Structure 1
Amino acid sequence: MATLSSKLDQQLAQVNQRLKAAQLGIQIERRGQRLNLRGTLPPRPGTQRLRPHQQRLSLALPATPAGLKQAEIEAKIIAAKLLDKSFRWQDYQTVPSLGFLGALSLAEQVAAYEDMFLRVGDSSSRRTTWQTAYAPYLRQLLHHAAAHPDWALPELIYTLLEQLPPHRRQRQVACTALQGLCRFLQVELPIPLSRFWGHYSPNRTQERQLPEDSTIVAAFAQIPHPGWQYVYGLMATYGLRNHEVFFCDLTGLANGDPQGRIEVLATTKTGSHYVWPFPPQWIDVFQLRSPRLPQINTDLSTTPLQRIGQRVNQQFRRYGIPFRPYDLRHAWAVRTIHYGLPDTVAARMMGHSVAIHHRTYHRWLTLRDQQQAVARVLAQQGDALELNL
């Protein structure tokens, strides 16, 4: 073994001598059982370097005579690309079992990006994000590529974005998905996608007509199934997202905790957090101390959170509930404002930032809500004046 290694090192020295004599500026290195190239190469995409500098480039070639022969060929090819300024780092980014990323078709590149995306972070939430925010626009990109096989990737991306309505959230989501793909492929677009972002803001969205508390209580009776009644009651009382209902620790609630606190588990979209009932009286109104969730598939290895949430939407439509499930969450948020719950606490219970909480919910206070709040404050001041007299 030592003899074979020494012989390979001798061959490597001879190859490097030839490359040096040809003034190609590229050398081959043996690092363990693999061969790499080393030379003055352009900065990698995403780095802070601005000028070419000494870097290594992995070839995924074995340290064998055959691998060395191929490495010498690659060194000459790369040297030629450097001369005519056609060298691209993405051509040498490897994908396990697939080879160089730059040599793959666009469909294979998107599949590799999906695999990488889903392997980072929490699998259930990443899978939901991929299916709802990334996959739709990447599928559209592949349709464009099939219809225009001669178009370059930037042209496909720009055409897709221009077909989406400007100043809308869907264009921003598309920009995010496509920018992620470009970053993965190490492709620098000639026109930044920020130019297509637009001026969308959640504040532009149409305000919802939230159901009054009396309407929420009355609609509970429209649900004949005890399990879906329980889902409805939990969402109304705790402001839960559709899927969160099925991923809660209800032990304290079932055991008679006087505050009725529950825990939304870490398997949900925004991680573990505690929630208190508003109003607490609804624990008894909706009989929430006796958990009876319906039997549905909550195995996140086979069922994404989005699909679980869709089941709730389907049941609301089935039972003729006159508002959407998420309206229960929004009504809960506005209700906590009337109770005087600090935004920092309410936002934590809802699993989002204070900025999002304030921007989303404070603007939904209707004239009726404001009148009730003013009347309550004036009544409190009147009581205080009577005490002072």
Structure 2
Amino acid sequence: MADIEPAALVRQENRRLAASGTGLRLEIRQQRLGLRGPLPCPKGTPARPVQRISLGLPATGAGVAVALEQLERVRQAVEQGRFSWEPWRRRPPAAAAPAPEVAQAVAPPEAGELRPALAGFEAAFFADPRRRRRPAGSRSTWSGAYRPYLRRLAELAANTRGAAVVDAPLLERVLESYPLASRSRQQCGIALGALARHLQLALPDDWSERSGGYGLHVARFRGLPSDARILELAAAIPNPRWRLAYGLMATYGLRNHEVFFCDLSALAPGGDRVLRVLPTSKTGEHQVWPFQPDWVERFGLEGLAESAVGLPRVCTDLRRTTLQQVGRRVAEQFRRYGLPITPYDLRHAWAVRTIHIGLPDTVAARMMGHSVAIHTRTYHHWITRRDQQQAVDTALARLRPS
């Protein structure tokens, strides 16, 4: 995107929008990006005259990436009847001001230099070519793994006199506001570390150590269910569609939303039963094998091979929903049935199963769609126990008489 002139890029995107039937268009006015198209009348009448929304974003490739995100949010709000002009009226006219959603959800009204810093960070995030290949996953990652910590940053800045400028001490205060050895503290460290790199801020040498420390051992290993308990709980789910979803997560260690974004054709009789998680998922395309393999029949998953209609009726149109919302629907259903475990407990149990059978960590991490570093950190307890047991077995073998 960075290799195309902004004006040409806007024309290209507008042609794509027109082909998709969207009435909204991007436009450049005084080197700033905005939206133009039929929008609800501010006076409340049924008419939808052509109107403009000024985004205040620079006419650059990165700015266009963020502008497209804003256009999609406006389109969805209009279609769902929840569009309001109020956020746009309150937007300050400053040239570097962020898009309205950033201003509302991230930066306080008096944030000063904080606001353009966060807006620029968001623009760079979505302009990353790797993220543009998976827009739905990128939106979900930003919403769940970055925005909450930037919101905390803005709140602390607003409550701290003279903290309108993002600097290393402010980032440290945000990190220290989360409990030690918590998942939120770890994710905060990742998000603020990325922000610091974007702003070229030098963080303390022990930043990674201070933000780390999360592992399943911290949360009582999440009270992971045994295989027998997993099968027992499945029988307690009254809806057969949700039993199938449960079975897929248990057998393949899928994330909540991945249940609905898989190629299930390999489950057909004679198939190799290797699922392909689609590129539209959070971490992109990857393949995953069943552990336990006999659970494919036990849960009756073969019937999903020809069509996924047997799964729960959940909206998966990423023009109208997000991966995070799909995943939240699964978690809500677990609570509705009163299950004493979470969907991620099934995923973690799958991972521990692969450790016990000796699957290499690099292979298991790839199947789970995350890095080896995250895999090692998350499952440190079981990996350490396995490696120590192997060392003990080897040492004892040398003591046995030949």
Stretches of 4+ moved more than 6 A in 1?
101-104
Are residues 240 and 113 of structure 1, via their aligned partners in 2, closer, same or farther at CA, if it must alter by over 3 Å?
A: same
Match status 1:170 vs 2:170: no
SS in 2 for 1:274: strand
- Residue 249 of structure 1 is aligned with which of 263, 267, 277? 263
Corresponding residue to 2:336 among 318, 321, 325: 318
**Counterpart of 1:130 in structure 2: which amino acid?**
W
Q: Is the 8 A contact 1:334 1:362 kept in 2?
A: no
Residue 158 of structure 2 aligns with an amino acid whose one-letter code is: A
Structure-to-structure mapping, 1:14-53, within 5 angstroms: none
Match of 2:126 in 1: 118
1:130 equivalent in structure 2: 142
Does the CA contact (< 8 Å) of 1:95 and 1:112 recur in 2?
no
Which of 207, 210, 231 pairs up with 1:217?
231
Residue type of the partner of 1:261?
A: V
AA matched with 2:277: V
Measured against aligned partners, the alpha-carbon deviations of 1:306-356 in whole angstroms (never above 9, x if no partner) come to 221111111111112222211212222222334443434333222233454
Query: Counterpart of 2:302 in 1: which secondary structure?
Result: coil
Distance 1:176 1:317, change over 3 A: same
CA distance in 2, matches of 1:146, 1:307: 30
> RMSD of the TM alignment (CA)?
3.6
TM-aligned CA deviation for residue 100 of structure 1: 5.2
Q: Tell me which residue corresponds to 2:323.
A: 305
CA contact under 8 A between 1:168 and 1:198: conserved in structure 2?
A: no
Comparing 329-338 with 212-221, greater Cα deviation is found at 329-338
Q: 1:116 to 1:210 in 2, by over 3 A?
A: same
Q: 2:163 aligned with 1:145, yes or no?
A: no
Q: Describe the shift of the 1:312–1:105 C-alpha distance in structure 2 as closer, same or farther (beyond 3 A).
A: same
**Cα deviation, residue 261, structure 1:** 1.9
1:282 correspondence with 2:284:
no
For 1:151 and 1:356, how far apart are their aligned partners in 2?
33
SS in 1 for 2:255: coil
CA contact (8 A) 1:298 1:308 kept: yes
Would you say how many aligned residue pairs link Structure 1 and Structure 2? 279
Alpha-carbon deviation of 1:179?
Answer: 4.1
Verify: 1:202 aligned to 2:202, yes or no: no
Is the contact between residue 241 and residue 326 of structure 1 (CA under 8 Å) also seen in structure 2?
A: yes
For the 8 Å contact 1:101–1:109, the answer to whether it is kept is no
Unaligned runs of 5+ in 1: 1-60, 63-93, 382-389
1:211 deviation in Å? 1.4
Task: Kindly state the Cα deviation for residue 235 of structure 1 after the two structures are TM-superposed.
Answer: 0.7
CA gap of 1:101–1:95, structure 2 versus 1, over 3 A, is farther
User: How far 1:262 sits from its partner (Å)?
Assistant: 1.5
Q: 1:113 to 1:104 in 2, by over 3 A?
A: farther
Contact map agreement 2:186 2:213 (CA 8 A) in 1: no
User: For the residues of structure 1 that align with 2:149 and 2:380, how far apart are their CA atoms?
Assistant: 32
- Per the TM alignment, residue 148 of structure 1 is displaced from its structure 2 partner at its CA by 4.1
Give the whole-Å Cα distance in 2 for the aligned partners of 1:158 and 1:146. 15
- Quick check: 1:95 aligned with 2:58? yes
The secondary structure found in structure 1 opposite 2:317 is coil
For 2:58, give the aligned amino acid. Answer: V
Report the CA distance shift for 1:293/1:147 in structure 2 as closer, same or farther (over 3 A): same
Secondary structure at the counterpart of residue 313 of structure 1: helix
Residue 162 to residue 347, structure 1, CA distance change in 2 (3 Å):
closer
TM-score, normalized by length of structure 1? Answer: 0.61
Structure 2's unaligned 5+ residue stretches are 1-29, 32-56, 64-93, 99-110, 305-309, 398-402
CA contact (8 A) 2:376 2:383 kept: no
From the superposition, tell whether residues 156 and 213 of structure 1 become closer, same or farther in structure 2 (CA, over 3 Å).
closer
**Please, what TM-score do these two structures have when normalized by structure 2?**
0.59
Match of 1:352 in 2: 370
After superposition, the Cα gap between the structure-2 partners of 1:293 and 1:165, relative to the gap in structure 1 and judged at 3 Å, is same
**Relative to 1, partners in 2 of residues 1:231 and 1:201: Cα closer, same or farther, differing over 3 Å?**
same
Q: For the pair shown, which has the larger CA radius of gyration, 1 or 2?
A: 1
Identity %: 47
1:133 and 1:355, CA in 2 relative to 1: closer, same or farther beyond 3 A? closer
1:163–1:99: structure 2 CA closer, same or farther, 3 Å change rule? same
Measured at CA, do residues 165 and 259 of structure 1 come closer, stay the same or move farther in structure 2, by a change above 3 Å?
same
